[in-house]
Amino acid sequence: MNITDRFLKYVSFCTTSDENTSMTPSTPGQMEFARYLRDELIGLGLSEVELDDNGYIMATLPANTDAKLPTIGFIAHMDTSPDASGKNVHPRIVRSYDGNDILLNQQLNIYLETSKYPEILNYKGQDIIVTDGTTLLGADDKAGIAEIVTAMEYLIAHPELKHGKIRIGFTPDEEIGQGADHFDVSKFAAQWAYTMDGGAIGELEYENFNAASCKITINGVNVHPGSAYHKMLNSMRIAFQLAVMLPRYQTPEHTKEYEGFYHLVGMQGTVEKTTLSYIIRDHDRTQFEYRKREMQHLVNKVNREFGEGTAQIELRDQYYNMREKVEPVMYVVDMAKEAIAKAGIEPKVKPIRGGTDGARLSFEGLPCPNIFAGGENFHSRFEYLPINSMEKAMEVIINISTNLKESDC
């Protein structure tokens, strides 16, 4: 199966993750997809193919040389973001993209507009996979899975390309910050790995945000509005008051590169009870800790004004900046740069304005930089995937796998 057909098959599975289920994987579609992948890997001839009860897949491509080469790994995640629907994805290939706005859905008059997404002009003349404008596509990270699987298939079909032992791993629930929760690093037994979870072609990343989730609950008092004087506490109004106390321009839409932010991702409320869900991000660890203290400060301020217990906060660290764990072994980044350049692409080393499973795995002893998967506009109805970018990512995997030396151990 070629890489495009494989990817189109993968996006037919609905694998949206859900942080509210308290299960692993958090949604049944992920396990359905995992079973399909397990069977596919067995069918391709990989060994040690395992799917555990939590939806994690591990498999091995054995070494085909007597040289003592390091064991390396490639990792991708099976879930898609809950930020946009991943159900009933209807992908379409735009052949030889002409540089104009793309009509995604005629009935709903939805266009992928170059004025809003000018990066697509970088792919003029290429074949591009798009959505129908009602769901995300799923290139994050099913493109990564397709690239890894197709690269393994290629190496099996070309035994003249010598390589060491290669481990692959597919995880659930990365999009809700739980992808590494049950990943057994010792069982994976690689010296280092790469997540195929980056964006545009050429991207290579070994820095990411420090990340935390924050849930603030506002407890109000509901009384008939006709007799509410000095009795009612409207939790929604208090929640709005708290929200606007955060710096207006320290949000995702006003920050770039290394700048951190507070991001309100959900709000549910009645007069009696309102919850605000935030994610907190910063590349700098000191600033990250400051942002968490600031959220606690605002909760304390609300409680001083409206009474103790009015506001409650739950803070949970999700992952940290992998840079401190990767810098001591920068040769793994250099190898990826060489592999990208060998594929005829200019490496673009940049910080991740997000995170990957590799961030947490790096802190668990598995250094894990991130390589482009090729998609753009992740988590969006306007997500798209240039086919050439996906093919080049597969080529990078092959280049890394076949360019190791005994001295790399």
Per-residue model confidence as pLDDT tens digits over 365-378: 999 999 999 999 99
Show Cβ contacts of residue 218 under 8 Å, excluding neighbours closer than 6 positions.
235, 236, 238, 239, 242, 269, 273, 274, 275, 276, 302, 310, 311
What pLDDT digit, counting tens, does each position of 233-248 carry?
999 999 999 999 999 9
Backbone region of residue 338 per phi and psi (left: phi > 0; alpha: psi in -120 to 50; beta: other values): alpha
- CA-CA distance, 74 to 28, in Å (whole number)? 24
Per-residue pLDDT, averaged over 315-329, amounts to 94
**pLDDT, position 356:** 83
Question: Tokens 């069918």, residue?
Answer: 43
Q: What letter would DSSP give residue 38?
A: H
> Is the domain defined by 210-318 classed in CATH 1.10.3720.10?
no
Question: Tokens 């000095």, residue?
Answer: 230
On whether the CB atoms of residues 369 and 357 are closer than 8 A, the answer is no
Show Cβ contacts of residue 225 under 8 Å, excluding neighbours closer than 6 positions.
232
**pLDDT, position 277:** 96
Question: Tokens 């699987």, residue?
Answer: 149
Sign of CA dihedral 293, 295, 299, 301: positive
**At 177, is the pLDDT very low, low, confident or very high (cuts 50, 70, 90)?**
confident
pLDDT score of 119 more than 80: yes
pLDDT score of 408 more than 90: no
On whether the CB atoms of residues 209 and 321 are closer than 8 A, the answer is yes
Q: Is the pTM of this model over 0.85?
A: yes
Cis preceding-peptide flag for 334 (omega within 30 of 0):
no
Cα three-residue angle 63-67-68, rounded to 5 degrees:
85
H helices within 158-221, ranges in order?
185-188
Average pLDDT, the chain: 96
207 counts as catalytic: no
Per-residue pLDDT, averaged over 191-206, amounts to 97
Show Cβ contacts of residue 253 under 8 Å, excluding neighbours closer than 6 positions.
none
Cis preceding-peptide flag for 25 (omega within 30 of 0):
yes
On whether the CB atoms of residues 210 and 360 are closer than 8 A, the answer is no
Question: Tokens 């001083």, residue?
Answer: 304
User: Nearest CA to 146 among 339, 36, 15, 4?
Assistant: 4
- CA-CA distance, 191 to 8, in Å (whole number)? 32
79 counts as catalytic: yes
**At 157, is the pLDDT very low, low, confident or very high (cuts 50, 70, 90)?**
very high
Active-site residue, from 141, 174, 205, 207: 174
Q: Report percent pLDDT > 90 for the chain.
A: 95
Phi, psi (rounded to 5 degrees) for 34: -60, -40
**The pairing of beta strand 110-112 with beta strand 102-105:** antiparallel
- CA-CA distance, 7 to 261, in Å (whole number)? 33
**At 354, is the pLDDT very low, low, confident or very high (cuts 50, 70, 90)?**
confident
Largest Cα span, the chain: 84
Q: Which token pair is 319?
A: 């992952």
Active-site residue, from 40, 79, 197, 207: 79
Phi, psi (rounded to 5 degrees) for 219: -100, 120
Q: Where in the chain is the domain with CATH 3.40.630.10?
A: 3-208+321-408
- CA-CA distance, 284 to 133, in Å (whole number)? 36
User: How are the residues of the chain apportioned to helix, strand and coil, as percentages rounded to the nearest 5?
Assistant: 35, 25, 45
Question: Tokens 């506001």, residue?
Answer: 311
Show Cβ contacts of residue 395 under 8 Å, excluding neighbours closer than 6 positions.
343
- CA-CA distance, 74 to 393, in Å (whole number)? 12
Is residue 65 classed as helix, strand or coil in its secondary structure?
A: coil
pLDDT score of 12 more than 80: yes
Q: What does each C-alpha distance from 112 to 84, 100, 387, 406 come to in angstroms? A: 16, 9, 17, 48
Q: Give domain 3-208+321-408's CATH architecture.
A: 3-Layer(aba) Sandwich (3.40)
Cα radius of gyration rounded to whole Å, the chain: 23
- CA-CA distance, 101 to 94, in Å (whole number)? 11
**pLDDT, position 355:** 83
Q: Where in the chain is the domain with CATH 3.30.70.360?
A: 210-318
